[in-house]
Structure 1
Amino acid sequence: MIPQDDKNQGPRKPRGRPRDWHDKTAQNTIKSLDRAMEVFEFLSDTQGKALTTLASDLNQSPSTVYRILVTLETRGLVEFDQVDQVWHIGARAFVIGSRFLRRTSLVERARPHLRALMEKTGETANLGIRQHG
């Protein structure tokens, strides 16, 4: 079925990419999401940080970082250790990351080579994908 406009003047053109698809300037980014991703990426590099340390290291207010962490926690992307009072990356981050590997045939192509390497060395073999240098 072809979508109709409100005035019933005929079919509307389906929406695709925005006109400025390749424009990656600040006007086309969501600042709060960018800030949240900065916290998430920093935490993934520096596991086990307290809120005040994270806020200080990122030069952001503790209340902002706290709200970001709580939001990410509701999605399972980060976890709070109540005993040590520190934040860690959550299991859901692994699930999402592993979906990237499922979309590529690289894993299936590498599997026999990794298995042979494991058998030859008696050690665990892992596949890593270098990205952005």
Structure 2
Amino acid sequence: MENEKNRKSNINVRAVRRVMEILTAFDFNQPELGLTELSKKVKLPKSTLYRYLETLKEGGFISQDPETGKYRLGIKIFELGSIVQNTLDLRKIAHPYLKKLAEETGETVHLCILDEERGVGVYVDKIENPSARVRYSQLGKTIPLHVGGVGKALMAYLPREKVDEIIRKYGLPKFTKNTITDPEELKKHLQKVKEQGYSVDNEEVELGLRCVAAPIRDSTGKVIASISISGPSARINEKTIPQLAELVKETALKISYELGFKS
């Protein structure tokens, strides 16, 4: 009896694996496959594969073009993907990475999300080092996109027309003597941010404070958030910025990968 149970269990496991192989045979390069093509990819006889496909069609996991007869992923896959996408909690995913970054650098680390409509970033997480307290940033507080590392790391990846709209609508208010308030200078600066993959806040929000930030992307490649390392200008300077930039870029990329981004 026990052997029979094990045999049936093994058959069920093989069947599940075959279903996974069938579903993952489709990709961006081959979103549609004919029966013969699919049979070769999953190494199943066409008669066996056909039975699997018919069952998957009934469940909405596979659909078939009535004209070409080719198969593609069904609407049920999209529904399941949407559930996963909607339940991905950026803050929950990012927090362990922020904590590690704070421990490695000994500086304060921020997570900021993009609010494109208001032309601001919103602080949603912060791990503060007692020796690197940052007064301006508080959870829920906003920051204009033209200032600070997190703001510029977000603004640099917006369409040019959106940047123009934000400047026209909200202006470029000055926080310190280092704040960039000239539109053309800002645009050149944002281009540099894109080229190097990170931004630097050179005491633009608060004198005596610098930060290095990098963008976070979602599964579509869109920049939706940014993270930064912030600390006293005495510690974050020309000598330390290159190393900090690599750390923050690497961390931002790891978070992006967890959100489904593929470079």
Q: TM-score range by the shorter chain?
A: 0.5 to 0.7
* Percent of residue pairs identical: 22
Partner of 1:100: 84
Moved more, 94-103 or 42-51: 42-51
Partner of 1:127: 218
Determine which of 14, 38, 60 is the counterpart of 2:21: 38
Equivalent runs, 1:1-133 vs 2, <5 Å: 30-44=13-27, 46-106=30-90, 112-113=113-114, 115=116, 120-121=158-159, 127-128=218-219, 130=257
Deviation at 1:72, TM superposition (A): 1.1
Moved more, 32-41 or 112-121: 112-121
For 1:113, the aligned partner's letter is L
TM-score scaled to structure 1, two decimals? 0.62
> Any conservation in 2 of the 1:43–1:88 contact (CA below 8 Å)?
yes
Q: 2 CA distance for matches of 1:68 and 1:48?
A: 16
> Any conservation in 2 of the 1:44–1:89 contact (CA below 8 Å)?
no
**Relative to structure 1, is the Cα distance of residues 120 and 80 closer, same or farther in structure 2, using a 3 angstrom cutoff?**
same
Larger Rg: 2
TM-score scaled to structure 2, two decimals? 0.33
Cα-Cα RMSD: 3.6
Deviation at 1:47, TM superposition (A): 1.4
Q: 2 CA distance for matches of 1:122 and 1:94?
A: 32
Higher strand share: 2
Query: What are the ranges of 5 or more consecutive residues in structure 2 without an aligned counterpart?
Result: 1-8, 95-110, 120-153, 162-216, 220-255
Deviation at 1:114, TM superposition (A): 7.5
**Residue correspondences, number:** 105
> Any conservation in 2 of the 1:44–1:88 contact (CA below 8 Å)?
no
For 2:47, the aligned partner's letter is S
